[in-house]
Amino acid sequence: MIADKSIKELENSSVALTVTVTADTIENDYKAALQKYASSIQLKGFRKGKAPISVLEGKFGKAIREESTFNTIEEALKEALEGVEDKYKPLSFSTPELQDEETLLPFKPDTDVTFTVKYDVMPTFEMPAYKGLSVSYPKVQVTDEAVNAEIDKLRDQNAMVIDKNDAAAMGDIVTVSYVELDAENNEVPGTERKEFVFTLGSTYNFYQIDGDIVGMKSGEEKTFSKTYAEDSTVEGYAGKTITLKVNVESVKFRDVPALDDEFAQDVKEEYKTVADLLKATREKLEKGLEAKLEQAKLNALSDELLKGTTIAVPASMIDLEIDQSWNRYVKQTGLTEEQILQFLQFQQKTKEDVVAPWREAAEKSLRIQLIMEKIKETEKFAIDEEELKKVYDEQLKDITDESQLEYYKTMIEDDMRFQKIAPFLQENNSFTEGEEVAYDVFMSETYGA
């Protein structure tokens, strides 16, 4: 079938595979296709399946040749890919794309066909040194202020929420329904929100109308104009003036408990005094800090590893990572993808506008993952058989299908080996405290992002 094949390495871990299919193979498949159609097609003046092949070929030969030759190309591609080296096999999520299809047409009789497909492969790279490195990580301590702030959160969480008859003030919890109005005071489609609950002063609402609601009472409705500054963070509204209709459905306030021994006992029975609560809170914060510092060490080491090598991450791999991030984003919003896309359309934006800033971080994350996978393969971490069996028993007890069982066993074993990478790296590299960072800054979600 295949007379010749060659592979050319391209940029960003992609390759071009060129295959030449013999004329004999193409002609045999074409004749088989003619026979197939001749036995089933009905032409005017002939009974079904009785039309001469010469007549069929005269009417439909070009179309049948084109169809059969593309089928032959597809089979030749499968055969060619089975024979290439592992490093040139396509990624499972990268479909080979036929190049310059128009130059192949029309297919000529008794002629070899040479075609080229392009696809992405697993990146190959020189492994950087990953032992004996020295990196620094932030110096962070749990302060009294951090402990007090955590205690205040506990008090706020244990506050009684009580209906308020007076006007809303900052810190109150309001339930509102709102909609944007156009110049004719008609409701703007897609902007309505019903029974939205938030705390005044938190700015956890799209239009940032906290200050506009202050002074309103439960059951009150108000229509007002709102102008956004040129540097406003409200997406799509910087420098604009809009009209909003807001109905306050309820106003509530938090009755925060006093910090005393009774409160400490309400938080947990084992706490007898405020001192017990403060001690336990500090220990909890220190444990959380320790976990994040361990991650910070690994992040610092990862950055050092990236300096030691160049990895060309293929576009299809980045696209897959972006798609997974998008799906997580949709899930976190609590909205459907259709609702999000409609909202973006209203803002004259697209999904690509949202995900484009994610690409750099996605590429960096993939480069780190590839290095970690290679470390796992190189070190061949041993797994305790008893521990492995325990995990099998816990996670696979309800699976009876043998093929599924083997698949999940492989996944579990691979994951357990992967979990050994971080401890291994921490054991084989040096970490020193660097610049001091405030606890609240370090523990924020945006730190290091």
Measured N-to-C along each axis, helices 53-83 and 23-38 cross at an angle, to the nearest 10 degrees, of 130
pLDDT at 299: 94
pLDDT digits (tens, 9 = 90+) for 146-160: 999 999 999 988 999
Closest to 198 (Cα-Cα) out of 189, 190, 206: 206
Mean pLDDT of the chain: 93
pLDDT at 371: 97
For residue 122, count CB atoms less than 10 angstroms from its CB and return exposed for 0-12, middle for 13-18, buried for 19 or more: middle
pLDDT above 70 covers what percent of the chain?
Answer: 100
For each of the domains in the chain, give its residue range(s) and CATH number, in order of start: 2-120 (3.30.70.1050), 160-255 (3.10.50.40)
pLDDT digits (tens, 9 = 90+) for 164-181: 999 999 999 999 999 999
Distances (CA, A) of 180 to 214, 222, 243, 338: 19, 12, 6, 20
Q: Give the pLDDT mean for 306-329.
A: 95
pLDDT digits (tens, 9 = 90+) for 10-53: 999 999 999 999 999 999 999 999 988 888 887 777 778 777 88
Question: DSSP per residue over 57-104, as a string?
Answer: HHHHHHHHHHHHHHHHHHHHHHHHHHHS-GGGSBPTT---EE--GGGT
Task: Determine if the pTM surpasses 0.75.
Answer: no
- pLDDT level of residue 101 (50, 70, 90 thresholds): very high
Q: Is the pLDDT of residue 303 over 80?
A: yes
pLDDT digits (tens, 9 = 90+) for 358-391: 999 999 999 999 999 999 999 999 999 999 999 9
Number of CB atoms found within 10 A of residue 331's CB = 10
